[in-house]
């Protein structure tokens, strides 16, 4: 069937899953969300958050949208802003991939890069403080605030979750990475209301404070936070798995050996999912799905670059270890 569109928001592949058993030896299906013009699952939330503000009458010609993002949300909002005719400012930090920054700028957005973390709130705290200063100083700036916006999770409640339920009516376990927790909360709300037997497992990264653990150094943008998201409701989450960043790297390189070039968040989610399945003795009778937020093209100079990996992780990745995986 031929697909013809006139708006980039009208295209998104919703029903593509990778069976990871041939690659990893476990019965796990990966929902691929990177096939749209933003290259990530964040396009769903970005579209919903802007639409929510529009319905509330808060957006009008001349408004400047502003948001804090480690990369993917910024790219998604750049596309939404371009299609809606808004100016957009993304406040990011030094960990944001250069490719993502360049893409936002190419789409017409203004990018502010924070270089010093807040002593208590880390880079995210510093980014949010910068956003608040800009909003206070400019009457025409509207902060979407993905960390507190219901639009962040309702977009996934309406789309991502029912897509999974339709594709896997006998689903047992759903693994979702926890960043702003929009995807996690949207799916958790949906399955709690409609298919409560499905276990919702959050995958977080070591060093993230989202679920109450101590803050630590994190080099890979995407999952994890240094400030707890306001939309998070832990009562909807059945379990949490924490993944070390070197294990994220190992999983990304394991997947690329089979020709699947995924981003860091996907490596984290898959690594955590396999850990949970093993720890819980799950066999082939368990139907499990993990959500892949994006592809790996923007990570070629980081996750897939040997020099960056050596600088970032040193002895945490043994010499020649990734060569052996490859």
From the CB of residue 320, how many other CB atoms can be counted at a distance below 10 Å?
Answer: 8
Q: Provide the pLDDT confidence category of residue 32 given band limits of 50, 70 and 90.
A: very high
Asked if residues 113 and 93 have their Cβ atoms less than 8 Å apart, the reply is yes
CA angle 280, 293, 127 (to 5 degrees): 110
Q: Provide the pLDDT confidence category of residue 121 given band limits of 50, 70 and 90.
A: confident
Instruction: Give me the pLDDT at residue 119, please.
Output: 87
pLDDT digits (tens, 9 = 90+) for 254-292: 999 999 999 999 999 999 999 999 999 999 999 999 999
Q: Which residue has the higher pLDDT, 227 or 173?
A: 173
Question: Hey, what domains does the chain have and what are their CATH numbers?
Answer: 8-36+151-311 (3.40.50.1100), 42-143 (3.40.50.1100)
Question: Would the pTM count as exceeding 0.85?
Answer: yes
């Amino acid at each position: 069937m031929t697909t013809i569109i006139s708006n980039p928001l009208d295209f998104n592949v919703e029903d593509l899953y990778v069976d990871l058993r041939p690659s990893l030896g476990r019965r796990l299906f990966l929902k691929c969300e990177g096939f749209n013009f933003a290259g990530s699952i964040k396009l769903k939330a970005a579209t919903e958050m802007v639409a929510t503000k529009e319905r509330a009458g808060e957006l009008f010609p001349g408004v400047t949208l502003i948001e804090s993002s480690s990369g993917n949300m910024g790219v998604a909002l750049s596309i939404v802003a371009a299609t809606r005719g808004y100016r957009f400012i993304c406040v990011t930090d030094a960990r944001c991939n250069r490719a993502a920054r360049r893409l936002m700028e190419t789409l017409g957005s203004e990018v502010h890069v924070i270089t010093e973390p807040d002593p208590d709130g880390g880079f995210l705290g510093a980014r949010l403080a910068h956003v608040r200063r800009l909003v206070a100083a400019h009457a025409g700036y509207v902060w979407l605030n993905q960390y507190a916006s219901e639009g962040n999770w309702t977009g996934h409640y309406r789309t991502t979750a029912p897509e999974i339920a339709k594709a896997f009516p006998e689903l047992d376990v759903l693994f979702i990475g926890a960043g702003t927790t929009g995807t996690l909360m949207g799916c958790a709300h949906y399955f709690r209301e409609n298919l409560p037997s499905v276990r919702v497992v959050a995958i977080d990264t070591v060093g993230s404070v989202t679920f109450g653990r101590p803050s630590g150094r994190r080099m890979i943008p995407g999952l994890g936070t240094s400030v707890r998201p306001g939309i998070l409701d832990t009562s909807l989450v059945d379990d949490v798995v924490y993944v070390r960043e070197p294990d994220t790297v190992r999983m990304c390189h394991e997947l690329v050996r089979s020709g699947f070039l995924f981003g860091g968040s996907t490596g984290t989610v898959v690594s955590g999912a396999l850990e949970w399945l093993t720890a819980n003795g799950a066999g082939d009778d368990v139907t499990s799905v993990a959500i892949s937020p994006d592809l790996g093209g923007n990570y070629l100079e980081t996750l897939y670059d040997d020099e960056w990996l050596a600088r970032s992780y040193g002895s945490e990745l043994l010499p020649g270890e990734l060569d052996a995986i490859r």
